[in-house]
Structure 1
Amino acid sequence: MSDVGGRAVLRVRFTTEDLLNVTFASEPLPMVETAMALVAWQRRDEQSVFGRWRSRVSQEMPGRVRPLLDLLRPDGDNPQFVEPYSRTVDEGLAAVRDAGPQLTADELHRTAARAPGPASWLRALWGRDREAWEQLDGAIRSAYEVLIAPQWPRIRQSFQADVAWRTRLLAAHGIKACLASTHPLAGWTGSVFEVGMPPHYATGLGGRGLQLMPSPFWTGRPLLAEGPDGPDGRRVLMYPALTPLPLIGPGPAEGALDALLGRTRAAVLQLLIQQRTTSELARDLHISLPSVSEHTRTLRAAGLITTRRDGKAVLHSATGLGVDLLRSGG
């Protein structure tokens, strides 16, 4: 998911028409999630959530996936041709191959400058070398088979639960609250949506609107990219799903709240009907302090809890929205 954009803030200007033309993607897309999974594997943030998953992937990932790491870097700011908006892997691979003639020298220079390996394979790819493109095809297929295919029901569960929650949030509190909940550092200045972290990028939507797409693998700030209709169509905002893949149980969720938040985050929210400190949450749930901090950060960004400092203690409690969610069961 290439971030169309280095200082420190993402700024997206909305017109009235844009605000009325914000929708959610209808389903997760296998090529996009394959790319996001490879990005998540290389990142080092949220270790208490993704650490074990990354270790397992490192053991299972076949060597033929290696070329993809020259294209898909941990910040998610990657060439978009390798992650088309296709509903099946076969359609996606065909779209990747069709993109070959349109790749530019500027894109090659930018991609090679970020790649950890030598640029020879990338130059061959951009030069439409048959063997290089066969390597790319095999790498994508292998990554999909290892990372995505076995987990597809859980990926869909995370996606659908997030969309259901934010649709409810949009209906109750409006589009600004919905978008602000996509990241702890997200907010609004007038009609400008802002996320206060690098890289710097400012743009307007020009009345084309925005499609929201949660990913259970992405852990960084929201990524703004061209949509499936190209430069003149609606943009896409990829953001971290409320429940990342490692927190989704292998079987059906016990309830709607577990499906939405994951069992641990649901348990955190339930405990916060009464105010608790970070240490108390860690003790009551038998999890680490860093894990509690990551869960409360996500719940806070979603507007479900508030946090305040009282001397050395950090106090958390459910908001009215959080209590409503608990009462409704999600």
Structure 2
Amino acid sequence: MAVLRIHFGVDDLARVRIADEPDPMWEILLSLHVLRYREVAEPLARWRRRVAPVLPGVVRSLLALAPPIGYSPDFLTPSSRSLEEGVEAVLRTPKRFLRADLELLAAPPTWARPLADGEPGPLRALGAALAEYHRRVLEPHWTHIRSAVEADRLGRVRGLLSGGYEELLRDLHPTLRWEAPTLQVHYRFGERDLHLGGRGLRLVPSYFCVDRPIMLRDHERQPVLVYPVNRRTTDRRHSGKLSALLGQTRAAALEAIGGGCTTGELARRLGVSPASASVHATVLREAGLTTSRRHRNTVMHTVSPLGVDLLNPVSLSVTD
């Protein structure tokens, strides 16, 4: 396996960031990969069985752009916090990137030729296909996906507070190797060096990423490292016990708060009224499981260290 060496400067370590939400475009691409893997472990195999009957017709065209082995076009995964933002970024992809990315695809479909020329019609069709796939295949499972990502992020943030950025990078995944000031990544595109040059690195925990972390091939774009969530911390086998302790709705509220959210966001995640979400947040705060901080007209809730221990009881003693 080839190695990509990511070279950090002092400014780069200060600009390492962990995404606080699942990136919808990366989850779309990587879930398409999972659909075509011969074997995957639970819970991904369970997800694949559940979505098989509802796969939309557009999945065939998307699969043609997302081979599970080899290169998938970088323009499919612009960094985004929402599906709408991500699809809009795809539609705005400069023509030179469209052409360059599709030329690297091992077996580009014939219908992709006008896409490579940046023709508006094919681009809009691709955006609509991405949105439909997300709505039909990922959105019904998005609460669980978000909980998995947030649980992983909580564990990383706790490690960051105790050991700093170098400890965070060292423990990110077993296939990574940190030798200051360089992070070595198993890489499928040959031996390469990436000098961050003050741009920092965006870390994206992903529910559908399997095996090992991945990066964009084009190193001129904003550096991003996508890595598998720690499934030992996201399996939620303790959820039944947690529900017995807190009640099902309060346990769900603690998980939904995850890496932090406002009362309104908590209400949307739980599917309850803002008033009910406020009551649940208050009970959790008074029990010492969360903290709340007012900022202007909103209240931001975060899970306390005690709450992290309840959500993630094995994260400090078990490693991947």
Gaps of 5+ in 1: 1-6, 261-317, 326-330
- What residue in structure 2 maps to residue 93 of structure 1? 87
Secondary structure of the structure 1 residue equivalent to 2:317: helix
Alignment partner of 1:109 is 2:103: yes
Aligned mate of 1:174, from 164, 176, 180: 164
Secondary structure of the structure 2 residue equivalent to 1:99: coil
Counterpart mapping for 1:31-110 below 5 A: 31-44=25-38, 46-75=40-69, 77-99=71-93, 101-110=95-104
| Contact kept? 2:215, 2:226, Cα under 8 Å | yes
Which has the larger displacement, 49-58 or 164-173? 49-58
Aligned mate of 1:219, from 210, 227, 240: 210
Shift of the alpha carbon at 1:167? Answer: 0.9
The CA RMSD measured in Å over matched residues stands at 3.6
Shift of the alpha carbon at 1:191? Answer: 1.8
Secondary structure of the structure 1 residue equivalent to 2:78: coil
- What residue in structure 1 maps to residue 307 of structure 2? none
CA 1:136–1:246 in structure 2 vs 1: closer, same or farther (change >3 Å)? farther
CA 1:73–1:138 in structure 2 vs 1: closer, same or farther (change >3 Å)? same
Secondary structure of the structure 2 residue equivalent to 1:213: strand
| Contact kept? 1:64, 1:138, Cα under 8 Å | no
Shift of the alpha carbon at 1:120? Answer: 1.1
Which has the larger displacement, 26-35 or 62-71? 26-35
Q: Using the alignment, how far apart are the partners of 1:320 and 1:29 within structure 2? A: 23
Secondary structure of the structure 2 residue equivalent to 1:11: strand
Alignment partner of 1:187 is 2:177: yes
Secondary structure of the structure 1 residue equivalent to 2:51: helix
Q: Deviations for 1:15-67, whole angstroms, at most 9, x for unmatched residues?
A: 22222321212322322322222122223454344223223333321222211
Q: Using the alignment, how far apart are the partners of 1:35 and 1:65 within structure 2? A: 11
Q: TM-score, normalised by structure 1?
A: 0.65
- What residue in structure 1 maps to residue 228 of structure 2? 240
Q: Using the alignment, how far apart are the partners of 2:25 and 2:182 within structure 1? A: 30
Q: TM-score, normalised by structure 2?
A: 0.66
Q: Using the alignment, how far apart are the partners of 1:104 and 1:145 within structure 2? A: 25
Gaps of 5+ in 2: 244-250, 257-312
Q: Deviations for 1:219-250, whole angstroms, at most 9, x for unmatched residues?
A: 132123399xx9475x221111113899457x
| Contact kept? 1:45, 1:219, Cα under 8 Å | no
Secondary structure of the structure 2 residue equivalent to 1:174: helix
| Contact kept? 1:27, 1:156, Cα under 8 Å | yes
Which has the larger displacement, 119-128 or 48-57? 48-57
Alignment partner of 1:150 is 2:145: no
- Identity, in percent, stands at 32
- What residue in structure 2 maps to residue 18 of structure 1? 12
Secondary structure of the structure 1 residue equivalent to 2:242: coil
- What residue in structure 1 maps to residue 23 of structure 2? 29
Q: Using the alignment, how far apart are the partners of 1:190 and 1:68 within structure 2? A: 39
